[in-house]
Amino acid sequence: MSTAGIQQKAQTIRATPLTRNQVRGFWASWGGWTLDGMDSFIYALVLVPSLRELLPRSGIEATKGNVGYYGG
């Protein structure tokens, strides 16, 4: 079995550079993922303090269990 054809084909394949639109698309998607992560982090930071304030106003005791249950 000869591997000469496989080696020759592997040597001729070259990576093509990305176009300007492809680079812009990458940075746009990366920025979107970054902002989604920031939103999730902010939600985690304000969830417990806000539920401690809002649950008693709704007639529900603000225990750790209730904060976890209503916080999802």
Q: Is residue 20 part of a domain?
A: no
pLDDT of residue 3: 64
Q: Are 70 and 55 in contact (CB under 8 A)?
A: yes
Tell me how far CA of residue 9 lies from CA of 5, 17, 41, 45, 55, in angstroms.
6, 20, 48, 54, 67
Q: What is the domain extent for residue 69?
A: 41-72
What is the reported pLDDT for 14?
Answer: 84
pLDDT at position 10, please?
A: 60
Specify the pLDDT at position 2.
Answer: 62
In a domain, 3, yes or no: no
Domain total for the chain? 1
Question: For residue 34, is it within any domain?
Answer: no
**Residue 57: inside a domain:** yes
- Asked, for residue 2, whether it belongs to a domain, the answer is no
pLDDT at 12: 74
- Contact between 55 and 62 under an 8 Å Cβ cutoff? The reply is yes
Any idea what the Cα angle at residue 41 is, between residues 49 and 66, rounded to 5°? 35
Confirm whether 48 is domain-assigned.
yes
Query: What's at 5, amino acid-wise?
Result: G
User: Do 38 and 44 touch, CB atoms closer than 8 A?
Assistant: no
Q: What is the pLDDT of residue 42?
A: 96
Question: Which residue ranges of the chain lie beneath pLDDT 50?
Answer: none
